Structure 1
């Protein structure tokens, strides 16, 4: 489990190097079983703070360690395991994209 500001349990499941957008995107995929929109679940507003924290504390170090120069870093949270690229209408998923500048995660809203 990785520490995040909300205190929810978050587990890293995959790090994918994706060139399909035409440039390198590094995708960090996490399971966060408490996210969702129903009562008692962690909503996007709280989860977005956790995603920014994961980018800054995990993704920046990973990119530096492996000497990568990604155009974007994507942090995704899912309430259950989902194969990359597969549709799962019953799952809750949150995504955020960042660019890295001087070891800082800069949010890239879509």
Structure 2
């Protein structure tokens, strides 16, 4: 029994030191709607701070917009909303000290599903941005 407790404690300590994230997927988006150019009802779902992307440290901001499934929304409209979310929501939430992300990824889906899992029935958009002169700059995926 003591060995099992020590093993669990060692695994937890190793995970904490390595920066691994063991978080449940949020059940529902939280907070008030976030203003976007399209006027869609967009709400924050979660922020993943320790993702490693091809450019280095990546912060992922996930949002839910049920209107994506209910209305015909063009990719151009969603792209403007994502840029507004990057500049108006994500950038102000990046710490001014410590490691700075090389990239911000904005994801908007019509429903909640776990990060990294595929849901072919979900409508989802995502874009990557670098940060230059205090602004989000769209990156070609």
Please give the TM-score of this superposition, normalised by the length of structure 2.
0.70
In 1, the alpha carbon distance for the partners of 2:40 and 2:98 equals: 30
Q: How does 1:1-110 map to 2 (within 5 A)?
A: 1-21=33-53, 23-36=56-69, 40-64=71-95, 67-110=98-141
* Deviation for aligned residue 1:63: 1.0
Q: Is the 8 A contact 1:24 1:69 kept in 2?
A: yes
User: CA deviation digits over 1:34-86, x for unaligned, max 9?
Assistant: 115x8x32121101000000000011101145655101000000000010001
Output the CA distance in 2 between the equivalents of 1:2 and 1:65: 22
What secondary structure is seen at the aligned counterpart in 1 of 2:80? helix
Secondary structure of the corresponding residue to residue 68 of structure 2: coil
Q: Which has the larger radius of gyration?
A: 2
The gaps in structure 2 that reach 5 residues or longer are 1-32
Higher relative contact order (CA 8 A, sep 6+): 1
Bigger CA drift: 61-70 or 50-59? Answer: 61-70
Instruction: Write 1 or 2 for the structure with the bigger share of helix.
Output: 2
Please list the CA deviations of residues 16-44 of structure 1 after superposition, one character each: whole Å capped at 9, or x if unmatched: 013333621000000011115x8x32121
Q: Secondary structure at the match of 2:126?
A: strand
C-alpha separation between the residues in 2 aligned to 1:44 and 1:72?
Answer: 21
State the number of aligned residues. 108
Please give the TM-score of this superposition, normalised by the length of structure 1: 0.89
